[in-house]
Structure formats: C-alpha cells, structure tokens
Structure 1
Amino acid sequence: MTNDAAYDALIIGNGALGLALGFRLAQRGQRVSIVGPSGRRFSASQAAGAMNGTFGEVTRDLLASAHGRQKLEMDIAATDLWEGWCEEIRDAAGEPQASLRRKDGTTIILNGGGTDAVDTENFVAIREALSEYERSYQMLEGHEVPWVTAQGGNRPFQGVHIPDEHSINTPVYLPTLEKAFRSVGGLMIDGLVQKIGSPRSSETGWVELADGRKFYAHNIVLAAGALSHDLLASSLPEIAPYVPPVTSGYGASVLLSHGAVPAPPSVIRTPNRAFACGLHAVPRKEGIYVGATNKLQEKPQLFAHVPDLHALLERAMRQMHAGFGTSGVLAVNVGNRPVPVDGFPLIGALPDTRLWMLTGTYRDGFHQSPYLADKMAEAILDGVQDPLLEAFAPVRSPIQSGRRDDIIAAAVDHALAVGFEAEWRVSVRWPTRIAELLATKYRHAVEDLHDTITPPPDVLVCMSDNDWLRRKLRGYYDVYSRKRGFSDIRPQIDVA
C-alpha cells in the first residue's frame, strides 16, 4: 500500500477495545484496518470472564481517589450503553439471535475466605457506592445466597445482588463484533506490528509488521494492551519516557464442565482482594468460567503457571462449590491485562502527533469498550476531548492515588489477604509481626525509589522484589524530576 492509498485509521490491537473503536470509526465512513495476530495470543479480551463489573469492582481505595471516582463514572457510563451496543453489533453482523450477553445480574459475597481489612471494607464500599449513585441492589443474608456450597469457614456471611450488572459471552461476542466490523467496511490484518512511524501534522504515518509488510494511515491507534509501551518505546524513544510504562497483569482462569454442579444463576463473585479481582464464577453455555489470578510480570505470558491453577481450583472448591471436585477442565485461559505503573488508563493523542493510545485499562477495558469507542471516535474525527478522559492523557505527571502511608498500609493488607485466602497456618501472633516487617520492607523500597511519588499497592509490592519494575519506575519518575522536554508538571497526589 502506498501513501496515496493510506487508511484513514489503523488500529494496532484486535481485542475488545480495538474492535469496538474500529467498528465505530468504520460506521462513520472511515477506511479502517485493525492489525493483530488472529489468535489474539497475548490478549486480555480472549481470556476474560467479561463481567460488566462496575460496582462489583468498587473498593475503598477507589472511592478515596479523585481519579478512581472518574474511573467509576466511566464504568457507570459504559453499563448504560451495553444493551443498545449489543443490538447494534447483532444488527450489523446480521446475527439477530446471537447470544452476546447474559442478563442474570451479579451477586457479590462476603465470605470467610477474605479479611476484614480488605473484603469487608470493599463490600461496604460497594454497598455505599450503589446507594450514592442510586442503583438497584438487594442485600442477602448468608443463607439466602444462591448456588454457593462452600466448605467450613468459607461460607458466605452476606451477599448483595446487583440486577443490572451482567456478563459478556466472549466466545460469541468477539467473533460477532469482528463480523460487524467487517460488514461496515473494516479490514482485519493478521500480523504482529514491529515498528510505528508516527503521523505528524499533514504527514502520513505507517506501521511495519514483523514479516516486512508496511501499511500507511492518517491516524494510528495503539491499542495493543500489555505490549503497547514496549512498541511505543522502540518506535518513538523521544516520547515514550513521558508515558507511564505498562506491565502485564498476567491472569489464569478455567472453564469447567458442570459435573455435579448446576449452572450458577448469575455471576457470583467476591469483592476485589489480594491484588486481584476476587474469586468469581460466571455461567457460560459450555460450562462454568472460574477466575481469576493476577500477577504483574515484565512480559506477557503465553501459558498458565501451575501454582496459579492449583490455587484457583482449590479456592473454587472451598469457597464457591464443593461439587467442582466432579468437574473437568474444559479449557485453561491465559490473559495479559495492561497495567500502567500508576494504575490508570492511557487514553488520547501523543503530543504533536496523530498517534493515539487506547490501553492501560487494567481490568476495565472489556466493560468500558463501548464507551471508550464512542469517546475516542469523537476525539479522532471531531476533535472533541471528553473532560472525563483528560486526566488519563498518555503524557502526564505520575498519578498517586493516595498518601504514601495509606498506600503502604493497603499493600500490607492485600499481602496478608493472600495468606489468609490460602488458609495459611501461622501462630496468632505472626500476622501482626509479618505486617510490621512488610510495612518496613515496602517503605524502604519506595523511599529508595523516589522522595515523594508512590506507586499503587500492587505495583509497590511487585517493585519491592523485582529489579525490572524498579528500573521502569525510576526511569519514568526521573524524567519528571528533571522536568525535561515537556511542560513543568508535578506528580498528582490524588485524594478525593
């Protein structure tokens, strides 16, 4: 393809976000191509439980942060779009009967597998947010929670059912969305992008694939998930240092056969805990989806780690349904969530270019995809920048989602929650002592990193044991400490 035959937009990444934006741009008459490996082997979307998690994702720390509340408002806006979005996708794909979404609601359980410092406080935060935003919910006593047959002390104490928080049937949804994109003139290119030539001013940009093919476009969107920052750094080294590095939130999940287990009547999940999205079971046509682990890694992972699968299956049997002992493993899913080092998404254009970023959404990308597709299309085609997204511009000062002492305390709480969920056997004196040791370790690690900036709890814990993440953070923070190149911007200490 030559410059004369350039696309209007070329999207790097064929997950839920890239496909949604491609569909919306092509609908508006743009010549759009989406580039990515057809198997989506590094994608988070392919492996997602795809819960429409809005209030189910609420935590005490989210509500305490101004940026966290912005993220919640984006989730709420997305919730209100999904019904119409699914109808649009089905109509465009010519699949009016396609089962894209299960509308069963979500039941969140507070059970004995967690801790007061994490599970109870997050459960209360969920209930408070539902009331504050005037959303429908029903409180349940432990014995009223349906389906769950937990063992011993893992039984649920309370539950909250959210009737409007559903789940997406990913095995049907992604192919249907791809078909809808093709039906409005979009083109899929199977390949792995190796380098980007950024479009500037009136110039046309380009992408080069690993096999040598080259494609041109007036706008290029980087929606390659956990691979996005590495691709940016290799292509635009003068800009990349000012963008928060993106790590891979590797996660494993399984699809189980029913065995002696009936299908859950809705999504059943715990609050977010132990640096992850909690334990959850999602009804699927083929069986029951159970997820999910979360571990920050330097590079995206292709295979599930044995200890993670062992822990996930054991917790599913203990906390969700003892009958899973009769189930078979139909599939093991591996996904790589894009996790910026400050914990917030990267959305918008890079300075003086028409290279856009749509990534860093961590666990929210699938759910927010209809909303972000609309807003990004408006920004690209109409020059309209939604105020809700301005704080998440890719080139920005580091966002700190609370005071240093509070972040360290949250890191300790979640680290201890990992042990309690694994039913560790320690003397009653040891959790307090372990907490003191961890707090000292994390404080020393972050004080050695930077005088004032503190990364979010999950990044802090990973950084304290990993040189590769420490180097990424130090390089990013040093750019802003020296105030080179871009405007004089200071770290945002973000407390709502």
Structure 2
Amino acid sequence: MADGTRTTEVLIIGGGIIGLTIALRLRRSNVPVIVLEKGEPGRGASFAAAGLIAPKFEPETEPFARLAIASRDRYRDYCEELRQLTGVNPEYRDEGTIMPLLDDEEETYANGIIESAGDSVPLKTLSRKNILDLEPDLSPEVRRGIFIPGDHQVNNRKLLQALIAAVQKLGGDIRPNTPARAIRVEAGRVSRVESDKDTYTPRHVVLAAGCWSHQVEIDDPSLSPPTRPVKGQMVAVQMTPPVTLTRNIHSPRCYIVPRVDGRADIGATVEEVGFDTEVSSEAVDKLLAAARSVVPGLRQSPVIETWAGLRPGSPDSHPIVGKTPVEGLIMATGNYRSGLLMAPITGELVTELILTGQTPELLRPFSPGRFTDTAGSESG
C-alpha cells in the first residue's frame, strides 16, 4: 500500500544506464526528476556487460548504425563529463578491436563482416605479421585479422558508479528498492504511477526498466513493451606476465576485453532461459576454452569472477524508444546488447523529446508503435 503522493516533472522507471543517463540530461536542463529502481541502481544489464562500445557487432540496419555511431561519437565527452563531476574515471579507451581469424569458417565470417561494413564503420585487414605485431600474445595459428579502429571500451562498472554520483550531485532523486507496479491512465494521459511505497503524479513517465519493462502494469495492456530477458554468462581472468593485451579481441569464438589493471573480461553466452541468472560450469568452461584458443597464454591466468546478466531483448533486437499514444508516457527500453553503447544518444534525444514534445529524427525508426497498430504515435 502506498504511503503518500509525490509530484515531479519526470518520473523514470528504471535505474540502469539508460534511465540514469536520461536523468543526467534532464538535470542538466534543470528538470525535476525522480528515478525508481526495483533493486540497486546500476546493477542490471550494463553492470554485467564487458564495456564494449562497438557499433559493428550489433544488429545491422542503417537506422541502427546511424544511432549507434552517433552515440559512440559522444562517448569521450560523456565519460569526461562524469569524471569532472564526480572524480571517478570511467577508463574510456579507444585503441580499437582486433578480430583474429584462425580457420576457414572464421575467414568466411570475416568476409561477411567486410562486405557489410560500408563507409560508416571503417575496417582494416591485417596480415598475420601485422596482427601479431599489434598483439603478440594471440595464437600462432592466426592466419590474418581485421582491425576496427572505431571500437572503444569503458570500465562499465566505474561508469555506472560515476553516473549515479553525477545524477545525485545535480539534484536527481534516485530511489532504490522501489519497484513501480502500475502506470495509471486517465483521459488519454498518464495520471499517476503506483509503487509499493508511494504514488507519483508526474507530467512525464519514462519506462526504462530493461527486461522488466513489460512487468510494469499499464492500464492499456497493448502498450506494454514486448521486452524479454536474454541471459549472458561471462568470466573474468587476471592476466599474468608475460601475457598482455592492449586492444579488444573479438573472435567469432568469444570476445576478450582487457582492462588497465590486467583483468580480462571474456564473454558471452546468449540464452533464452527467462529470468535465470545462475552461472553454469559448462558455460564458464566453454568461454575459457574459446579464449585460450585465441590467446593461449590465458591458460595460466586465474579466474577471478564469474557472473550472468539479463539483456533486455526486443522482437527485432532494436531499441524501443519514443512516444506512446498515452500523453506523457515515453518508452526507453529493449536495447538488447546495446544499452551501454546507446546511453549517451538516448539520454540526449529523450530529453529533447520531453522538452520539445517533438520526436528527434534519429529516434523515429525505434518507435514503440512499430510492434502495434499505434505507429502513428510518432507523428509529432
């Protein structure tokens, strides 16, 4: 039972990287904002990620590529803003990604990557000598490789730490362990949001609850976003001398993301198993075997962490962002594997939408209405 009624200009449901970045941008525009988070802020899909900022390895459509590259291009300033606000360094790095190719199947996969790249994601082919000069600890079985200079990385956990602190420093109200239960609609607009503790009466509601978004009751059930959990298991090792990696390694077998402290995150499985977050020894063994086949020296590296996260899948693996037919209700969810990548541009454009009432052109292909008969909700 709710204890009281709270008012605010914007209520964000979901304290992950998308919801928090929207809150950051709103506070930069002096908009009052409350963030409701069902658990601990910043502990969802983006906490469980590897920190890759890599547009090339996400779903291939031109609208998605435009949005992803626009977001990637904002990342350096985004991280520097957070560092200056909080003193926490998100460890932004732009050394790029190397794709080592070890067999015929991987050569075929790489040819497809090269053919589909276009001008928006520059690639460079590397000879065996070139690739081993760049990363000497790759397998001696490597035939050749691809270098993707436009791929970046961050320490996603430090980024989230900085983001939470920045929102709070700017006056944002983040409420942990406060799940939103229902969004109530009267006369075609949002009237209130109910949680276990309070009722809220905002002008705007942003539903940004990741794979849990569809669990928030909406009076019109047809507006519930078609999100689902997609499990990803990962393992981290501590690289031991003489093994060192400088760049992201993205093999068709796995990816390896090296950190400045010698940690290397290895991922990831893709599993449609509901809300299960158990880590299996089988998955860990497969990820370690894949990583060691690419970087043999990792056989001596101790395992320091295993974990699983839940990505917010959507029917077409693209974000669900924009207006709904209910006045004041906006979606910002369904980012699947790209929530970390899409945070800067989503925060900017959703804030623009709230302030102007107009949908930015980059967001139009990702309207919530594309899954229903309400596509016209993006007409303004």
Shorter-chain TM-score: what band?
0.7 to 0.9
Q: 1:270 maps to which residue? A: 251
* Shift in CA distance, 10/58, structure 1 to aligned 2, threshold 3 Å: closer
Q: How many angstroms apart in 2 are the aligned matches of 1:149 and 1:166?
A: 20
Counterpart in the other structure of 1:89: 82
* 2:218 is aligned with 1:235: yes
Q: Any conservation in 1 of the 2:189–2:327 contact (CA below 8 Å)?
A: no
List per-residue Cα deviations over 1:66-114 (Å, max 9, x = no partner). xx11101111111211122122222222x1x724312322222333284
SS of equivalent residue, structure 1 residue 85: helix
Larger radius of gyration: 1
Say if 1:83 and 1:488 are closer, same or farther in 2 by CA, change over 3 A.
closer
Amino acid of the structure 2 residue aligned with 1:295? E
Q: Is the 8 A contact 1:260 1:327 kept in 2?
A: no
The answer to whether structure 1 residue 190 and structure 2 residue 176 are counterparts is yes
Is 1:291 paired with 2:252?
no
User: Cα–Cα, structure 1 residues 301 and 369, in superposed 2: closer, same or farther, change >3 Å?
Assistant: same
Match of 2:205 in 1: 220
For residues 325-379 of structure 1, give each alpha carbon's deviation from its aligned partner in whole angstroms, at most 9, with x where no partner exists: 2111111121111111232221112212312111111111111110111011011
By percentage of residues, which structure has more strand?
2
Misfit runs of 4+, over 4 Å: 113-117, 148-152, 199-203, 486-489
Contact 1:261/1:327 (CA < 8 Å) preserved in 2?
Answer: no
Question: How far, CA to CA, are the matches of 1:27 and 1:42 in structure 2?
Answer: 23
| Between 343-352 and 16-25, the greater mean CA deviation after superposition | 343-352
Higher relative contact order by CA 8 Å / sep ≥ 6: 1 or 2? Answer: 2
Change (3 A) 1:254 1:261: farther
| Structure 1 runs not aligned, ≥5 long | 63-67, 272-277, 398-479, 490-496
Return the TM-score normalized by structure 1.
0.69
Partner of 1:404: none
The one-letter code sitting in structure 2 at the alignment partner of 1:262 is V
1:50 aligns with 2:51: yes
Distance 1:113 1:368 in 2: 33
Give the 3-state SS of the residue equivalent to 2:95 in structure 1.
Answer: coil
State whether residues 4 and 198 of structure 2, in contact with CA within 8 Å, keep that contact through their aligned partners in structure 1: no
**Alpha carbons 1:42, 1:301 under 8 Å: kept:** no
Counterpart for residue 25 of structure 1: 26
Identity over the aligned pairs, expressed in percent? 23
CA deviations 1:212-256 (Å, max 9, x no partner) are: 44333221111111111232xx33353246x4x222110011121
Task: Tell me the equivalent position of 1:464.
Answer: none
Question: Matches of 1:162 and 1:382 in 2, distance apart?
Answer: 37
Distance in 2 of aligned mates of 1:86 and 1:311: 33
| SS of residue paired to 2:245 | coil
Q: What's the CA shift for 1:188?
A: 1.3
Instruction: Assess, with a 3 A threshold, how the Cα gap between structure 1 residues 235 and 161 changes in structure 2: closer, same or farther.
Output: same
Residues 269 and 283, structure 2, Cα contact 8 Å, conserved in 1: yes
Alpha-carbon contact 1:7-1:216 (below 8 Å) kept = yes
Contact 2:103 / 2:143 at 8 angstroms: preserved in 1?
yes
Q: Which one of the candidate residues 135, 138, 150 is aligned to 1:147?
A: 135
1:147 partner letter: E
Mapping of residues 76-475 of structure 1, within 5 Å? 76-93=69-86, 95=87, 98-112=89-103, 114-115=105-106, 119-125=109-115, 128-129=117-118, 132-133=119-120, 137-145=123-131, 146-147=134-135, 149=137, 155-198=141-184, 204-209=191-196, 212-231=197-216, 234-240=217-223, 243=225, 245-260=226-241, 262-270=243-251, 279-286=254-261, 287-297=263-273, 299-319=274-294, 321-397=295-371
- TM-score, length-scaled by structure 2: 0.88
What amino acid sits opposite 2:82 in the alignment? I
Is the 2:45–2:309 Cα contact (8 Å) retained in structure 1?
yes
Q: Which secondary structure state, in structure 2, belongs to the residue aligned with residue 23 of structure 1?
A: helix
CA distance in structure 2 between the aligned counterparts of 1:151 and 1:103, rounded to whole angstroms: 23
Q: Deviation string for 1:417-457 (max 9, x for gaps)?
A: xxxxxxxxxxxxxxxxxxxxxxxxxxxxxxxxxxxxxxxxx
Letter in 2 for 1:294: V
RMSD: 2.7
Name the structure 2 match of 1:452: none
- Which is richer in helix? 1
- Taking the aligned partners of 1:150 and 1:343, their CA distance within structure 2 comes to 32
Deviation at 1:53, TM superposition (A): 0.4
Q: Give the aligned length.
A: 371
- Give the secondary-structure state (helix, strand or coil) at the position aligned to 1:92: helix
Q: Which amino acid aligns with 2:194?
A: V
The gaps in structure 2 that reach 5 residues or longer are none
Instruction: Give secondary structure in 2 for the equivalent of 1:46.
Output: coil
Question: Do the aligned partners of residues 382 and 318 (structure 1) sit closer, same or farther apart at CA in structure 2, a change above 3 Å counting?
Answer: same
How far is 1:38 from its partner? 4.8
- Hey, what's the Cα distance between the residues in 2 that align with 1:226 and 1:161? 33
Q: Deviations over 1:387-446 (max 9, x none)?
A: 22212111224xxxxxxxxxxxxxxxxxxxxxxxxxxxxxxxxxxxxxxxxxxxxxxxxx
